[in-house]
């Protein structure tokens, strides 16, 4: 019978001694795993923020804080021009503005560092050195793209051409036309070496094996094919128009670039347009009454559109994924406003729930902020339906381009005296305006839009409900 090993026992003093010896060793091992302790200076980067969903880069309008200024969390340090407005950018930390990486007047992509913030005066020198390293790093990164462009992709073709002879040993693999010719001329395909792609036997290989002289007409087609290929590849280059002699090229501002991008995106939407004539005599009378109280015609039209949209929510909806309806819980009327260097659409939120006097006050504030480029993102990107009014310029009719993310936009022309006939055949002169609506045909159908316009026309022609 095997002997049982004696149990191990340690006295309290021996155990304590072993623990004391093990503790320094475990701390040393832990220190080795963590690596040497390094005290780093606290230098933080101020990044270019994304001030709107469509913003890809921003332009520095001005720096509110100069290098060397001490700032606290929440202070505005820089004014950035986005694609829609000029906005103050606040800092999230306390510190000293050690280095400005992007001066006023220059642009930077969203997420790029535009300044360095040092926590204390002792860290300023290190931040300045870091800024110089960043700027030199950007300068060194500029040449590689040009070097990468220098070796064009002609080098791969030689490598691709090499496999053809290597695969030439594949015998008996022939094209259907080559098999047909081999049968006609009694050529053994096993004895023919193919010169086609991957060693495939071509009709020319069979004719050569049969001793048939190649036809001279075969050369022109091969010459014609390359001629067609370059012409196809040259089409994309033709889209870049040559410069006009004596012309001055002015690049888009951030806002103009955003408008251009949105207009191009709208071309992918299957839109259709419906026009409707509306008598405005009673609306003109109401306008003369409320005008002294600060109510504009734009507000009256926006209120009428909101009331009609409440009855036809599909016109207030949108198609964002190409496969579903998005019904908006709020009716927010965006109104196109021309400003210096672009176009913006301030939004009258909850337009169906506010009276015309509150809407007018809000509209004046929005227009003032839009002219000063001080609109907040929710004040210009939350629209569910857009109104564009050129009637004040005497334009009698026009079509508006559908903004991305919305289901419809209304274009309002001028109200002009027009000869009309009533149901009894009597002629009279009445004021009439033409309204055109552009809608997304994926979600809004002709009958929906016609019914909406009929309701809108009834509200305009009997506008007492606008004052309730």
Cα–Cα distance for residue pair 174/192, rounded to 1 Å? 10
Note whether 194 and 202 are within 8 A (CB): yes
Q: Give Cβ neighbours of residue 173 (< 8 Å, ≥ 6 apart).
A: 194, 198, 199, 200, 201
CB count in 10 Å sphere of residue 348: 27
Specify whether 185 is catalytic.
Answer: no
Backbone angles phi, psi at 62, to 5 degrees: -165, 155
Map tokens 């009331």 to a residue: 307
Helix (H, G, I), strand (E, B) or coil at 443: coil
DSSP 412: E
Encoding tokens for residue 419?
Answer: 């000869």
Cα 139 to the chain's mean position, in Å?
Answer: 28
Helix (H, G, I), strand (E, B) or coil at 408: strand
Start-end of H helices in 291-337 = 297-311
Q: Choose the catalytic residue: 171, 179, 441, 458.
A: 441
DSSP 174: B
Q: Give Cβ neighbours of residue 30 (< 8 Å, ≥ 6 apart).
A: none
Note whether 385 and 407 are within 8 A (CB): yes
CB count in 10 Å sphere of residue 94: 14
Cα–Cα distance for residue pair 278/136, rounded to 1 Å? 65
Which class for 154: exposed (0-12), middle (13-18), buried (19 or more C-beta within 10 A)?
Answer: exposed
Backbone angles phi, psi at 274, to 5 degrees: -135, 130
Taking phi first (over 0 means left), then psi (-120 to 50 degrees means alpha), and beta for anything else, what does residue 416 get? beta
Note whether 296 and 466 are within 8 A (CB): no
Residues paired with 431 in a beta bridge:
417
Task: Return the active site residues.
Answer: 441
């Amino acid at each position: 019978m095997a002997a049982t090993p004696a149990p191990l026992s340690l006295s309290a003093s021996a155990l304590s001694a072993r623990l004391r010896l093990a503790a320094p060793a475990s701390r040393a091992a832990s220190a080795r795993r963590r690596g040497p302790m390094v005290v780093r200076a606290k230098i933080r980067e101020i990044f270019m923020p994304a001030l709107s969903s469509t913003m890809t880069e921003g332009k520095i309008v001005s720096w509110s804080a100069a290098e060397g200024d001490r700032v606290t969390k929440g202070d505005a340090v820089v004014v950035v021009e986005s694609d829609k407005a000029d906005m103050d950018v606040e800092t999230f930390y306390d510190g000293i503005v050690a280095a400005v990486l992007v001066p006023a007047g220059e642009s930077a992509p969203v997420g790029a560092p535009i300044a360095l913030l040092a926590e204390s005066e002792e860290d300023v020198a290190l931040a300045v050195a870091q800024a110089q390293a960043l700027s030199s790093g950007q300068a060194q990164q500029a040449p590689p793209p040009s070097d990468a462009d220098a070796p064009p992709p002609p080098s791969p073709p030689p490598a691709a051409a090499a496999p053809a002879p290597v695969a030439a040993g594949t015998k008996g693999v022939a094209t259907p036309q080559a098999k047909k010719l081999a049968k006609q001329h009694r050529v053994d395909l096993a004895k023919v070496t193919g010169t086609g792609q991957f060693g495939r036997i071509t009709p020319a290989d069979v004719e050569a094996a049969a001793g048939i002289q190649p036809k001279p007409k075969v050369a022109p087609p091969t010459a014609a094919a390359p001629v067609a290929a370059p012409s196809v590849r040259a089409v994309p280059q033709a889209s870049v128009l040559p410069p006009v002699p004596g012309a001055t090229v002015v690049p888009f501002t951030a806002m103009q670039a955003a408008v251009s991008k949105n207009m191009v995106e709208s071309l992918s939407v299957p839109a259709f347009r419906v026009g409707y004539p509306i008598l405005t005599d009673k609306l003109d009378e109401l306008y003369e009454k409320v005008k002294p109280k600060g109510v504009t015609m734009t507000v009256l039209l926006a209120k009428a559109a909101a009331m009609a949209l409440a009855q036809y929510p599909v016109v207030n909806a949108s198609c964002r994924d190409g496969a579903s309806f998005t019904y908006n819980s709020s009716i927010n009327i965006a109104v196109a406003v021309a400003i210096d260097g672009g176009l913006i659409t301030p939004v009258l939120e909850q337009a169906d729930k506010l009276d015309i006097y509150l809407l007018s006050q809000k509209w004046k504030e929005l227009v003032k902020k839009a002219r000063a480029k001080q609109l907040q993102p929710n004040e210009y990107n939350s629209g569910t339906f857009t109104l564009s009014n050129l009637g004040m310029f005497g334009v009698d009719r026009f079509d508006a381009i559908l903004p991305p993310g919305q289901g419809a936009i209304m274009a309002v022309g001028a109200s002009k005296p027009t000869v009309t006939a009533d149901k009894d055949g009597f002629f009279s002169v009445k004021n009439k305006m033409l309204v055109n609506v552009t809608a997304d045909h994926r979600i809004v159908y002709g009958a929906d839009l016609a019914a909406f316009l009929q309701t809108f026309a009834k509200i305009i022609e009997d506008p007492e409900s606008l004052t309730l």
